[in-house]
């Protein structure tokens, strides 16, 4: 590795530890490394070209659409109806409210595509409700934080779209379909922990509702749940692409929130659109600067150097995948998911493919791995949002998070070493 590559990595991590915003860390580190090789004007021109090229993708149009759809759903009364539906379905089981929390986060995450939105929308209702029924506040917050990460894997997921771009053309539709089984597996393992923990603590269960009430709650949530079937059914059926599905999701969310549930007023649309534009700009800036860094890493042959190092350490595919997972777990603790996917996909995907791993399988593994970083300090965005919503500290939430972390790691191991969990549905639907 040449001195410019070392400078790139050093400047990036120094700025990261100084708490400089991640997009500036990436941009400044890339600029510093390129200035060692060429003059200032060609450097700036090259970075600008690479940033523009990184955004020149039709698939990226889906991200602003799904962000806006998620905001409309978040303010449109969807969370409340999903919680009531989950309560009617699993509230009477051991640890009923904890199970409701997990199921609601999974359902809301699969609609909004945002772990932070799920933590805020579901947690603001479920955490006080669980505490009222005798659940420990820290445990309630831990359940919300860990369950919200399922939205990163269960489609529609913005980060899967980012991975599709970074991987050089993996089908977004195939990735969406591939996320269902791993996402439901993760949710199931988290629910198992909640049931055992609640039984051990003697937490109460909810009263079994009459069948007519259960039917009413399901019917109330059905319009929101229908979005999942519309999007995935349309993609699998070849009716529209993932990008077009984003536009349909916005239209459907608008009709549902404004005309059906009537929780969003037309006067509020200005604020929602502005927030959607702000969030989209943040994500697209990260994608742009990460594209320039990825090009610089390739220019310095850093991916090849890392690949050679891994092969030198071991020729056993199981060991190499374990090392990749450990590296990604450490990266996820310090870096946001979007730049992590854009930077490390070109590094690790060729290694994974040389081991016989499909790009779809690797993508689901990578996203699940980095999702764990969303609820681990020091950078975990979902962890901090969950603590803020619950009005508790990271120290108090750490202990109840430990068994949930263990389940997330078990899910990661299963997804890593059992390819069919990720590949069965894409193969079944011919994607």
| Long-range own/partner contacts, residues 21-28 (CB < 8 A, 24 or more apart) | 22/286, 22/335, 22/336, 22/339, 23/282, 23/285, 23/286, 23/289, 23/339, 26/286, 26/289, 26/290, 26/292, 26/293, 26/339, 26/343, 27/289, 27/292
Highest mean pLDDT among 292-296, 340-344, 403-407: 403-407
Inter-residue contact 426 to 174 (CB < 8 Å): yes
> Can you give the length of the chain in residues?
431
CA distance 367 to 363: 6
Query: Does residue 1 carry a pLDDT above 60?
Result: no
Inter-residue contact 164 to 175 (CB < 8 Å): yes
- pLDDT for the residue 83: 79
Identify which of 348, 370, 349 has the alpha carbon closest to the alpha carbon of residue 358. 349
- pLDDT for the residue 2: 66
- Backbone dihedral region for residue 262 (phi beyond 0: left; psi -120 to 50: alpha; all else: beta): left
What's the pLDDT tens digit per position in 142-170? Answer: 999 999 898 888 887 888 988 988 888 78
Inter-residue contact 291 to 53 (CB < 8 Å): yes
Query: Interior CA angle at 241 toward 237 and 244, to 5°?
Result: 120
Quote the radius of gyration of the chain (alpha carbons, Å).
22
Highest mean pLDDT among 75-84, 111-120, 189-198: 189-198
Highest mean pLDDT among 8-12, 221-225, 316-320: 316-320
Classified as helix, coil or strand, 37 is: coil
What's the pLDDT tens digit per position in 359-389? Answer: 999 999 999 999 998 888 777 778 888 888 8
Positive or negative, the CA dihedral 16, 365, 375, 145 is positive
Query: Tokens for 308?
Result: 């050679």
Query: Tokens for 403?
Result: 């068994």
CA distance 111 to 105: 10
What's the pLDDT tens digit per position in 243-293? Answer: 888 888 889 889 988 888 888 888 889 998 998 888 888 888 888 888 888
Q: Is residue 80 very low, low, confident or very high in pLDDT (cuts 50, 70, 90)?
A: confident
Classified as helix, coil or strand, 38 is: coil
C-alpha distances (whole Å) from 149 to each of 105, 116, 143, 199, 421 are 8, 8, 11, 24, 18
CA distance 359 to 351: 11
What's the pLDDT tens digit per position in 20-30? Answer: 888 888 889 88
CB hemisphere CA count around 381 (13 angstroms): 16
Within 8 A by CB and 6+ apart from 354, the residues are: 307
C-beta neighbour count of 12 within 10 angstroms: 24
Identify which of 96, 163, 102 has the alpha carbon closest to the alpha carbon of residue 133. 96
- pLDDT for the residue 181: 93
Helices and strands counted in the chain (H then E):
21, 0
Inter-residue contact 368 to 415 (CB < 8 Å): yes
- How close are the terminal C-alpha atoms of the chain, in Å? 39
- pLDDT for the residue 50: 87
383 burial via Cβ count (<10 Å: 0-12, 13-18, 19+): buried
What's the pLDDT tens digit per position in 82-101? Answer: 778 887 887 777 777 888 88
Pairwise pLDDT comparison (78 vs 179), residue with the higher score: 179
161 burial via Cβ count (<10 Å: 0-12, 13-18, 19+): buried
Query: Tokens for 81?
Result: 């109806």
């Amino acid at each position: 590795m040449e001195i410019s590559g070392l400078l790139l990595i050093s400047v990036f991590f120094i700025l990261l530890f100084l708490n400089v915003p991640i997009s500036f860390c990436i941009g400044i580190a890339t600029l510093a490394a390129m200035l060692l090789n060429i003059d200032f004007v060609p450097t700036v021109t090259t970075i600008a070209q690479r940033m523009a090229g990184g955004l020149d993708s039709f698939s990226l149009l889906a991200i602003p659409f799904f962000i806006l759809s998620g905001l409309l759903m978040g303010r449109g009364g969807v969370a409340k109806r999903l919680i009531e539906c989950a309560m009617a379905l699993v509230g009477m089981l051991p640890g009923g409210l904890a199970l409701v929390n997990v199921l609601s986060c999974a359902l809301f995450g699969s609609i909004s595509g945002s772990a932070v939105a799920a933590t805020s929308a579901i947690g603001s209702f479920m955490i006080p409700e669980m505490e009222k029924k005798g659940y420990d506040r820290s445990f309630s917050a831990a359940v919300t934080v860990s369950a919200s990460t399922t939205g990163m894997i269960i489609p529609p997921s913005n980060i899967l779209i980012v991975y599709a771009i970074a991987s050089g053309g993996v089908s977004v539709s195939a990735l969406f379909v591939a996320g269902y089984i791993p996402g439901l597996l993760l949710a199931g393992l988290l629910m198992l922990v909640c049931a055992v923990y609640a039984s051990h603590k003697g937490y109460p269960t909810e009263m079994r509702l009459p069948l007519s009430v259960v039917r009413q709650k399901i019917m109330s949530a059905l319009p929101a749940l229908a979005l999942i079937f519309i999007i995935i059914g349309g993609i699998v059926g070849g009716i529209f692409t993932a990008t077009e599905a984003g536009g349909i999701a916005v239209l459907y969310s608008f009709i549902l929130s404004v005309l059906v549930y009537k929780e969003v007023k037309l006067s509020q649309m200005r604020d929602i659109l502005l927030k959607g534009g702000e969030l989209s700009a943040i994500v697209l800036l990260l994608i742009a600067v990460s594209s320039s860094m990825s090009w610089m890493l390739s220019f310095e042959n850093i991916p090849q150097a890392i690949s050679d190092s891994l092969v030198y350490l071991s020729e056993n595919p199981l060991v190499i995948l374990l090392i990749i997972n450990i590296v990604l777990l450490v990266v996820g603790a310090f870096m946001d998911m979007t730049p992590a996917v854009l930077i490390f996909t070109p590094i690790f995907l060729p290694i994974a493919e040389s081991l016989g791993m499909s790009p779809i399988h690797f993508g689901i593994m990578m996203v699940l791995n980095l999702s764990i970083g969303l609820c681990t300090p020091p950078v975990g965005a979902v962890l901090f949002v969950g603590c803020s919503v619950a009005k508790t500290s990271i120290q108090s939430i750490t202990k109840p998070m430990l068994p949930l972390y263990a389940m997330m790691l078990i899910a990661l191991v299963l997804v890593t070493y059992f390819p069919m969990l990720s590949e069965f549905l894409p193969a079944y639907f011919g994607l």
